[in-house]
Amino acid sequence: MSGQSFIHGCTLCPRMCHVDRETHFGFCGMGRNIKIARAALHMWEEPCISGTAGSGAVFFSGCTMRCVFCQNYHISTQKSGSEITVERLAEIFLELQAQGAWNINLVTPTHFVPQIIKALDLSRSKGLKLPIVYNTSGYETVDTLKMLEGYVDIYLPDFKYKDPTLSQKYSQAKDYFPVACKALEEMIRQIPEQVFDGDRMIRGVIVRHLLLPGCLLDSKKVVRYLYETWGDRIYLSLMNQYTPMPGIGEQYPELDCRVKRRSYEKLVDFALELGVKNAFIQEGQTAKESFIPAFDGEGVARPGGR
């Protein structure tokens, strides 16, 4: 199915809204036009992604998940950002390359995939050489991922839940686990091996899992599933950086706290006991709002206001 038909009866994500995004908003909250909130070098990804120079992160507005605890709620739910053209997005990719980015990091891109593909074609024709990172919630359709084959070099999905009660409560996605399983299978089909250039990943799959307060048991189930299914064909990134956003305690009091250090240590120990070798872990106090980028429009407009 063409990108044009997706826009006029959108089925880009598993929500299957079928809305005409020329005139209506889907679950993601976005219409036809690309909207981004920031495009800049980003140092807070996994070391093989950010490296010493930074990842060229493009933060897209809107989201197909809209988790209640989202640290990027300013753009995912409140939809901050500016509309740009495909041509401007292609320019942004090239500008990030000129700044020395290790890669182009597409953050929450699912609902703009057809436009992103056009921008990548255009920027590659003008000299873009960087690996492309698809940084996603993991809640993807196989059809949309197949559109990206040959465009994406590194898949960086979340794998948020195994328990459908949790995924429904916090992300309105009771089917998250089976959908994410199929999506990950497609990602690994496209990129079955990890390729590095020194410390820099240039091809591969890194699966992130964020430990939520009170959810250690489900996190262990996620880690067990990922390792027993895929072993060391993927890298795991176990994250302790959950930060309670303002007002979360009013409806979800159990999420109005940071993750206990001992809970995270138990998750890491569990992964090691399973035999996990390819993993990133976080040390120290990462659950700080200072790790949340300022969605201030940096890098969106043309330099000099052209």
How far, CA to CA in Å, does 277 sit from each of 23, 45, 74, 186, 237? 49, 19, 36, 23, 11
- Axis-axis angle for helices 216-230, 261-274 (nearest 10): 20
Tell me the C-alpha distance between 305 and 103, whole Å: 25
Query: Taking the mean position of all CA atoms in its chain, how far away is CA 10?
Result: 20
Binding site, annotated residues: 63, 67, 70
- What's the rounded Cα separation, in Å, for the pair 34 and 239? 29
109: closest CA among 187, 51, 28, 181? 28
Say which amino acid occupies 205.
V
Residues annotated within a binding site for [4Fe-4S] cluster: 63, 67, 70
3-33 burial string, b = 16+ CB within 10 Å, else e?
eeebbeebbbbbbebebebeeeebbbbbbbe
Query: Distance between CA 52 and CA 100 in Å, rounded?
Result: 10
